[in-house]
Structure 1
Amino acid sequence: MAEPIRALDVPARTTTIYPEALAAPLKGRAKRKLGDLFHLTQFGVNLTVLAPGAASAHRHWHESEDEFVYVIEGEVTLVDDEGEHILGPGMCVGFKAAVPNGHMLVNKSSASATYLEVGTRAEGDRAHYPEADMLAVKENGAYRLTHKDGTPY
């Protein structure tokens, strides 16, 4: 049996793979990679806290990976191709792979927000960023960022 843990005891990652010029909106994001602790290989699980004003990512969509978000505490604004949608505790949303609907979460409230994100762990993927000059290319399970024309950062 796997040893149970308290999710909030896991150290949070506050860095991003984004280039410095594109990283500012993510300041205030703390992500705990829970799936990694249990060596899960088919899907990832992250417990994420967004401070007021922080974003989960730039708007993006994946060619090969599904994403699911469940809000635990606080309020986040989902920004996607159809506009803005307020998500509160108990609300959830999913994003099917290969559907080009750029999405992100932003905490526009005055209190922290906590959500659980679950996603596919494909060996290869491409994440597209409609509003940023960025493309994330995943090969052998690891992402690298390039400009949209393929030149590296």
Structure 2
Amino acid sequence: MSEENSPPLKLSQDDLNYHQGSGYPAPYDEICRDRQKAKIGDIFGLNQFGVNQTILPPGQASSQRHWHTDEDELIYIIAGTATLITDHGETTLTAGDYAGFKAGNPDGHQLINKSDDNVIVLEIGGRSQADEGHYPDIDLLIDEPRYEGKLARFKHKDGSYYED
């Protein structure tokens, strides 16, 4: 790999480029419309696992409540106070707290910012091509996590696809 195409040796906060919103089809995108995500793993060229830094403004969520068949996930709260929602109810996470989600465990998870300040979260997870994402509360399923260069291809639970 040429030096100009090589990933950086280090990054600082100022090097991060955030994108806003999510790839969810409407109306499921609304709860993530203002979230900001920087794909740190992509910057370093990582392909076995992903690393993201996500900023959740007040009232926004990290995702719809979901679980993965073939990808573990780990989150770390860098700043702020978030509410973790699972089948067990709500758990408050503050700066310095971790939470982990084992692949195949059908207990969906979601972070929501119910505070008045931004929440900053570090997210680490797998990049399995065999993974399915399940959304227990809504009519949504992902069974093609990397579809034609897009992040995901979404289906209804009856197997029909949302419009691309």
TM-score by structure 2 length? 0.88
Q: Is the 8 A contact 1:7 1:47 kept in 2?
A: no
- Number of residue equivalences: 153
The equivalent residue for 2:67 is: 61
- CA RMSD in angstroms, aligned pairs only: 1.5
The equivalent residue for 2:4 is: none
Q: Is the 8 A contact 1:25 1:57 kept in 2?
A: yes
Q: Is the 8 A contact 1:28 1:52 kept in 2?
A: no
Q: Is the 8 A contact 1:72 1:115 kept in 2?
A: yes
Deviation (angstroms), 1:10: 1.6
CA separation in 1, counterparts of 2:102 and 2:71? 7
Give the gaps of 5 or more residues in structure 2.
1-6
Q: CA distance change for structure 1 residues 66 and 8 in 2, over 3 Å: closer, same or farther? A: farther
Give the gaps of 5 or more residues in structure 1.
none
Q: CA distance change for structure 1 residues 75 and 152 in 2, over 3 Å: closer, same or farther? A: same
Deviation (angstroms), 1:3: 2.7
Deviation (angstroms), 1:140: 5.5
The equivalent residue for 2:118 is: 112
Deviation (angstroms), 1:123: 1.7
Partner of 1:136, secondary structure, is strand
CA separation in 1, counterparts of 2:29 and 2:145? 22
Q: Is the 8 A contact 2:41 2:52 kept in 1?
A: yes
Q: CA distance change for structure 1 residues 92 and 8 in 2, over 3 Å: closer, same or farther? A: farther
Among the aligned pairs, what percent are the same residue?
Answer: 42
TM-score by structure 1 length? 0.94
Matched, 1:143 2:152: yes
